Every structure is written in C-alpha cells, then in structure tokens.
Structure 1
Amino acid sequence: MNAGRLRVATKSDGDDLLELWALLFDERDAEAPWRTHAAEWFARYVDDPDTARFPVIEDDGAIVATAVGTLELGVPNPQCVRGRTVRLANVITLPAHRGRGFGSALVLDVLEWARSIEADRVDLSATPEGQRLYERLGFAHTKAPRLKLVL
C-alpha cells in the first residue's frame, strides 16, 4: 500500500462515510431518506466490533477509501458450520486514489476481523471492476443463484 493510513472508523467519521457510500451508489440527492437510516445504523454499530467492522484509509487527513464488514447470523449448515457469515460491502476508493492497494488493504482487514470473530465465510457482491481484486484474494464464484425482492 502506498501512503495512506489504515484505521478503524469512529463515530466522527459518519459524514465522510456517507459521502463515500453516496458515490458508490451514484446517489447525488443529499436529502435521500437512506442517508438518515445509514447515519443512524453507522452510529449504532461503529463501536460494536462483534457485529461490524469499518476500516478506512486516511490520506493527508482525509478518508479516501472504506469498506464495511457486518456479521450475519444464520442456521448452521454444511457450507456455514457455525452459521456465521460476514457480508463485505461498500468497498470504495476515491478515483484519484485508486491503484495504490487501498482496496486490498481494506478487504484484508475485514477478512482478519472475520477470522477473529469466528465467521465461517465472507460473502460479497462484486462489480465487474472489483472482481479481479476479490479473486486475487481468494474469493471464488458460487453456483448459487442470487435473487432479490425489494420491499
């Protein structure tokens, strides 16, 4: 990783993370309802290392990259012996800071956290641009189809 400092987010980073998440979803509406829910969710879980992990990369005093790991509890099964899955999401690096290893550092941080809380696996959805990063770090495509119903 070139320059930048990896650290865990704090409550005071909430506004900066919301802006990065807005970029990730190409959401320009500053008044969008999701922002209030996301801010409340972040404030609730940022200090709960048993449930969530929020690594950030800081460069020249500004957060330029982040990722989120959240623990999901499910029924234990052959593919998830303890029923503990970490969902890796919201991995984003500002365009001017890409290509410096920040994404890899963030993902590796979440993987280390997942092991420390005895998760069975880490699941994610990847954009075509992000697939190489995840494959390089050992993630594999699954045969399970993914479906979604928006309520």
Structure 2
Amino acid sequence: MNNLSFTVRNATQEDIEWLIELRSFLLDGTSAIYASRSQTDSERWRTAYKHWLAAHLGVHDSVQVLVAEHCETRQVAGCATGIIDLRAPTAANANGLSGWIQSVVVDPQWRAHGIATQLMNHLLRWFGNWDVATVALQTTAGASGLYERLGFCPTGEGLLLRQGASA
C-alpha cells in the first residue's frame, strides 16, 4: 500500500480512542523516561490524555492534532501533534513563536508507507502558516533519519527533564 491510500486530516472527537491507542506505542512498554512503569501509570496517562484531547481538538488555534486515515477502511493509522508556544525572541526567532512536535506515531502494521512523512509535512506547513520560525521535537534513534530528511538537525544541546512535584 502506498501513501496515496491515506488522507491526513484534523483529528476530531471521534478519533480520541484511536489517538489513545496510537500514543500507547510510545508510552506503554517502552524504556523512555516518560513511559508508563505500571498499569496504574498507563491508566493515568490515558485518562489525562483523553481529557486533554476533548478540551483541545478543534478548540485552540495553537494546537494541531492530525491523523492519517486509510481511504478505504477509515482506520486511523497514524497521528502527530503540533503545539505553538510563545517564547522570548531570539536572533533566529524574532517573533518568539516556537513549535513543538510530539506524538508522531504510526501503527506498526502501516510503518514504512510514508505516513509519518505526510503527517510531518502537514504539521510543518501549519507551523509555516503561523509564521513559526523554530520547531523542536524529541526523537528516537529509529526516527531520527526521517526528521533529518525534513531539515531537523541535532542542536548539540542536552535535553534535561525533571519529572515530579516541585521542591
């Protein structure tokens, strides 16, 4: 099957269960620092994500959640989220609008069909339409080639993460 068999569109409330299941490929059963460590963790993020999606889909101009839908079966085979933040201006980003891409996921049975590339191209056009000059994402070793082909490059800076309650 080729990438012409999929349509990229804005996610809707009807896609929430698909989005949760797709995101589970990132958050359940992986070794990532942000991944679930127990069934309780999994249930917590699933509930929180469901509420977040319900509150943000089609509501906020600064959030874009996309799905790739199979043209014949209507199965949602992939998704990606873009978020626009306002940060302090820099020389490379005078308006301060910064993009963040997260949860780029393709169902394993549909990988290597160009779906992630389609999703990313849509998100990059969306950011461009909002005059977002800087877009960041966190990647895995397996996906870094895709992002580098799309113009992303390592910054040489370390990503530090603090999780948990404030001190």
Using the size of structure 2 for normalisation, the TM-score is: 0.84
2:76 counterpart residue number: 63
Please give the alpha-carbon distance, in whole angstroms, between the structure 2 residues aligned to 1:146 and 1:10: 32
Moved more, 46-55 or 140-149: 46-55
1:43 aligns with 2:51: no
Mapping for residues 25-104 of structure 1, pairs under 5 Å:
25-26=27-28, 29=39, 32-48=43-59, 50-59=61-70, 60-104=73-117
Please give the alpha-carbon distance, in whole angstroms, between the structure 1 residues aligned to 2:80 and 2:143: 13
- Residues 2 and 100, structure 1, Cα contact 8 Å, conserved in 2: no
- Residues 67 and 90, structure 1, Cα contact 8 Å, conserved in 2: yes
1:22 aligns with 2:33: no
Question: Structure 1 counterpart of 2:49, which letter?
Answer: A
Percent identity (aligned):
27
Displacement of 1:124 in angstroms is 0.2
SS in 2 for 1:119: coil
Moved more, 4-13 or 101-110: 4-13
- Residues 56 and 63, structure 1, Cα contact 8 Å, conserved in 2: yes
Aligned residues: 151
Unpaired segments of 5 or more residues in structure 1?
none
SS in 1 for 2:135: strand
Mapping for residues 108-127 of structure 1, pairs under 5 Å:
108-127=121-140
Displacement of 1:116 in angstroms is 1.0
RMSD: 1.6
Displacement of 1:56 in angstroms is 0.7
Question: Structure 2 counterpart of 1:109, which letter?
Answer: H
Runs of 4+ in 1 over 2 A off after TM superposition: 26-31
SS in 1 for 2:5: coil
Please give the alpha-carbon distance, in whole angstroms, between the structure 1 residues aligned to 2:111 and 2:61: 30
Displacement of 1:141 in angstroms is 0.9
- Residues 9 and 56, structure 1, Cα contact 8 Å, conserved in 2: yes
